[in-house]
Structure 1
Amino acid sequence: MEKQLNSDQPNTIENKFNKLIIIVSIAIPVVVAILFGIKLKDYGINVEPLTFLPPIYAVINGVTAMLLILGVYSIKNGNKKAHQNFMQAAIACSVVFLVMYVAYHMTSDSAVYGGVGFIRYIYFFILISHIILSIAVIPLVLITYVKALAERFDKHKKIAKITFPIWMYVAVTGVIVYLMIAPYYAY
C-alpha cells in the first residue's frame, strides 16, 4: 500500500524551499534598507541620478496589479496555464520594481512629500502601510508560489486568499504613493 502524504506535512519541494523562503524574506528588506541609505556619490562613484525611474516603477506597480487580477480571473475560469503565466509575470514585475527602486535611491536624493494638512496624514498612512505590507508580502508570495510548485493546490488556494489582497494593496498603493509625491520630485 502506497503511503499517502498528510496534507498538513510539507513535501520534498516545500522542504527544499522553506529555508530559502526564510532567508529571502529576511534578506530582501534588510538589503533594501541598507542600500536605501547608500548614495553612490558618497563613495566617489559618479553616476547620473536615475530620476527618470519613479514613473517607470509606478507603471510597473500598476502592471503588477493588472497581472494579479488577470491571474485570478484565469484560475477562476479554469485556465491554470494562463494563471501560472500571469502570476510569474507579476513576480517578475515585482523584482524589476525592486531593482529600479533601489537603483533610484542609490543615485538620487529622496523626494520629500510637501503636502500639508490632512492630506499629509493620508499620504503617510498609505506610505507606511505600503512599506510594512511590502515586507510582509514577500514570504506570502514565496510560500504561495512554492505550494503551487509542490502541487499542493489546496494549500496554495488557502494562502493565496491571504496573499492576493495584500499584494494587490501593495501594488495599488505603490501607484498612489507615486502620484501623491510626484509633484515634489526634483527632476
Structure 2
Amino acid sequence: MEQTLNVNQQKEPYRKLIIAVSILIPAVVAVLFGVKIPGYDLSFLPPIYATINGITAVLLIAAVIAIKNKKRKLHETLMKTCMVLSAAFLVMYVLYHMTSDSTPFGGEGVIRYVYFFILITHILLSIVIIPLVLFTFSRAWFGNFERHRALAKFAFPLWLYVAVTGVIVYLMISPYYQ
C-alpha cells in the first residue's frame, strides 16, 4: 500500500495541493459572494471578463491546433496564457460581484430555461474544470505527456465549453444590467 502511494506521488507530485486548491477556489468564491463592499463602481467589468472568456476560448482552440501541428512551445505558451486569463477572469468576476448587486435575468418563456440551463452548466463545469486543468498542466510540466494527453481529451472540451458559455451568459444577461 505504501509503495502504491509513493508511485502515485511520483506520478502526481502536487496531487494534494491541486485537490486542496480545487476545493479552496470554489469555497472562497462562494464565501466572497456573500461579502458586499459598498462605494465601488465596478460595473465596467462584465464586458471585460466576458471578453477574456472569449479570448480564452480562441486561444484554447489555437493551442490544440498548435500541438496537432507539433508546435509544442507555442502550445505551452498559449495554455499558460489561458491559465493566466482564467485567473484574471476569476478575480474580476469576484470583484464585480462583491461590489454590485446580482442582475436578475429578465427573459421570459423558453429563453429563460435556456439561460438557466447554460448558466447552471457553466457554473458546475467551471468548478469541475479547476482540477482537470491543474492536473493536465502538472502532467505536462513534469513531462508525463501520455497522461497529460489522456486527461487533456476531457479537460479541453470542458474548458472550452466554460469559456464559450461565459460569453453566452454575458450576452444573454447584458440587456438587464442597470
Band the TM-score falls in, shorter-chain normalisation: over 0.9
Matched, 1:74 2:66: yes
Matched, 1:117 2:109: yes
Contact 1:11–1:150 (Cα < 8 Å) also in 2: no
TM value normalised by structure 1 = 0.90
CA offset at residue 157 of structure 1? 0.3
| CA offsets 1:75-103 (integer angstroms, 9 cap, x no match) | 00001000000000000000000000000
Partner of 1:3: none
Secondary structure at the aligned position of 1:151 is classed as coil
Spell out the pairing of 1:59-138 with structure 2 (5 A cutoff): 59-138=51-130
Partner of 1:154: 146
TM value normalised by structure 2 = 0.94
CA offset at residue 11 of structure 1? 5.8
Q: Distance in 1 between matches of 2:115 and 2:165?
A: 10
Q: Distance in 2 between matches of 1:52 and 1:31?
A: 23
Number of matched pairs: 173
Q: Which amino acid aligns with 2:157?
A: P
Partner of 1:177: 169
Contact 1:137–1:167 (Cα < 8 Å) also in 2: yes
Partner of 2:12: 14
Q: Distance in 1 between matches of 2:32 and 2:83?
A: 21
Runs of 4+ in structure 1 off by over 6 angstroms are none
CA offset at residue 14 of structure 1? 2.3
Taking only aligned residues, the RMSD between alpha carbons, in angstroms, comes to 1.3
Q: Distance in 2 between matches of 1:56 and 1:110?
A: 17
Ranges in structure 1 where 5+ consecutive residues have no aligned partner: 1-5
Partner of 1:55: 47
Ranges in structure 2 where 5+ consecutive residues have no aligned partner: none
Pick one of 27, 44, 47 that aligns with 2:24.
27
Q: Distance in 1 between matches of 2:100 and 2:163?
A: 22
Secondary structure at the aligned position of 2:153 is classed as helix
| CA offsets 1:13-58 (integer angstroms, 9 cap, x no match) | 722x1111011000000000110111012xxxx3x22000000000
CA offset at residue 12 of structure 1? 3.6
Larger Rg over CA atoms: 1
